[in-house]
Amino acid sequence: MSVCPVYQVTGMEVYAPRGKLSLIEANREGRLPFSDRFAELLSYCLLCGACSNACPAGFDVDGSVQQARLRFVEEKGLPAGKRCFFHYLLDSEHLLPFILKGGSLIQGLLCKRIPEDSGLHCRFPISLLAGRSWLPSLASTFFLENDLPQETSAPARVAYFTGCVTNYLFPNVGKAILNIFDFLGEPVWAPKKQRCCGFPAFSAGDEETARSLARANISAFMDGRVDYIITACASCSSHLRFNYPKLLADDPVFAEKAAEFSAKVMDISVFLFHNKGFSRQLSDLTPKTSRLKVTYHDPCHFRFREKIFEEPRLLIKSLPGVDFCEPAGGAACCGHGGLFSITHYDISQRILDRRMAAPKEVGADILVTSCMGCLLQWKEGLSRQGLNAQAMHLVELFDNFLSK
C-alpha cells in the first residue's frame, strides 16, 4: 500500500491497491454487485504500476483494476459524458480536430477577462478552451496541420507517432523532433491520418473505442515500410507497445499487424541513444553561455513498464555546460494519470505537491520529462507555486542546444 500515490495522500485503505483488490474479488465471487460507488472507488487509481512493481508475488494489480473497469462498462455501460467523448469525439478523424480548432480561435475571447485573482479553476472541457488555465492554450496551428515530411516524399526508416497533447497543445515538441532528425540528416515520416493512441478510453474500460483507434493508427503507419515508430510520450509508448497486441489478439485482420506495429515502437531517447549515438553528438555542441542545472522526472510508465531509466539521463549528461542532478527524494509519481488529473483534480495536485520540493531542493533551472501528461502536470505545479524552474520535454532541451 505504501507505494500507492493515492494512498500516500489520502491514507484510506479503500483507495489503496489492497482495498481495490478486495472489492474486485468480492465482485467476482458474486458478493458485491457493480454500482456507481464501486465504479467511483475503481476510479481512484492512476494505473501507474507502482503496486504491481512492488508486489512480491508479481501480481498485476493495476491490470486487475483496468479489467474490472472493463467488466463494469460491459455490464453497466459508459456514463453519457464519457460515451459522447470517447465514441463521438476521440474516435472521430475529423470532429475532434474541428471542435478544438474552433476552440483555439475563440479561447482568448472567452477567458481574457477572468481576473488573475479570481481563484477560478477552469476544468475540463472548459480548460481546453481557456486562455489561462491549468492546461496550456490550444495551439493556433496543430502539429499535424503543418507541412510535415511524408513517407512518399523521401523513403524513411522512422515514423513519428505524435500523440494528442503534442498535436493540440505542444506542437513545439513535435517540431523539436523534426529538428533533431534534420540535424541527424535522416528523414522521418509523420502520418497525417494518425489519431489518439486510445489510452484514455482503454484506461476507462472502453475497449471498443480503444480497438477502433488502434486499428486506425495501425492502418496509418503500416501503409509505409518503416523500421521504427518513435514516440515522445511514455503513456503513448507503453499503450502502443503492450496493449495494442492484447486489444487485437482475436482480430482476424489486425492481430498480426498489431504485433508487427508494436514491435516497432520505441521511445525517442532510446532510439537516439542506442541507434544514433546521439550522446556523442550532443557532447560536441557549443555550451550555453552559463551553466544549467537540469533534473529529470521519470514517467511511471517508463519506470514500471518499459524500464527506461538510464537513456534520458545519459543523454542529458552529455550536454556541455549542463549539471545533471537527481530529483530530491528520488523518482516518484507526479499525480497526472491522464483522466485522473481531470476527474480527481484535488488528489492529483496533492500528489504533485509531494514532488514539488524536488526541483526546489536541488536548485534546478530546468525540469525535463519524457511524458506529455507529466509535462502538463509539472508546468501546472511550477506555475502554481511560482517557482523559477522551467518544465520542458527532453527533446526541447536538445533542440535548444542544436538551434544555438
DSSP 72-122: HHHHH---HHHHIIIIIIIT-SSHHHHHHHHHHHHHHHHHTTS-TTS----
Torsion of CA 78, 82, 83, 87, to 10 degrees: -130
Q: How many residues does the chain have?
A: 404
Residues sharing a CB contact under 8 Å with residue 257, sequence separation 6 or more, in sequence order: 218, 222, 248
Q: Which residues of 38-71 are buried (b: 16+ CB within 10 A; e: fewer)?
A: bbebbbbbbbbbbbbbeeeeeeebbebbbebbbe
CATH 3.40.50-classified regions of the chain:
275-402
What CATH class does 275-402 carry? alpha beta
Secondary structure in 3-state letters for 307-342: CCCHHHHHHHHHCCCEEECCCCCCCCCCCCCCCHHH
Helix, strand, or coil (residue 249): coil
**Nearest of 241, 244, 294 to residue 266 by alpha carbon:** 241
β-strand partners of 231: 161, 267
Mean pLDDT of the chain: 88
On the question of pLDDT at 133 being above 50, the answer is no
Cell of residue 98, nine digits: 474541428
Range with lowest mean pLDDT among 52-56, 182-186, 356-360: 356-360
Determine what percent of the chain is predicted with pLDDT higher than 70: 91
Nearest-5° Cα angle at 303, 341 to 362: 80
Alpha-carbon 93 to chain mean position:
20
Please tell me the predicted confidence (pLDDT) of residue 245. Answer: 98
What pLDDT is stored for residue 10 in this prediction? Answer: 94
Q: Could you give the CA distance from residue 226 to residue 229 in angstroms, rounded to a whole number?
A: 7
Q: What is the pLDDT of residue 124?
A: 42
* Overall average pLDDT of the 324-335 stretch: 90
* pLDDT at residue 240 is higher than 80: yes
- pLDDT class of 81 with cuts at 50, 70, 90: confident
Question: Does residue 123 register a pLDDT over 50?
Answer: no
Extract the C-alpha cell encoding 15: 483507495
- Taking the alpha carbons at both ends of the chain, their separation in whole angstroms is 47
CA distance 359 to 121: 24
Residue with cell 504485433: 259
Query: Whose CA is closest to 350, among 11, 21, 91?
Result: 11
Higher pLDDT, 193 or 129: 193
The helix-helix angle for 17-28 and 61-76 (nearest 10°) equals 50
Reference 240, options 132, 161, 175; nearest CA is: 161
- pTM, full prediction: 0.90
pLDDT at 36 over 70: yes
CA atoms of 390 and 316, how far apart (whole Å): 15
Q: Which residues on adjacent β-strands are paired with residue 324?
A: 294
What pLDDT is attached to residue 153? 56
Single out the residue of 314, 392, 317 nearest to residue 359, CA to CA. Answer: 392
Query: Does residue 229 contact residue 189 with C-beta atoms inside 8 Å?
Result: no
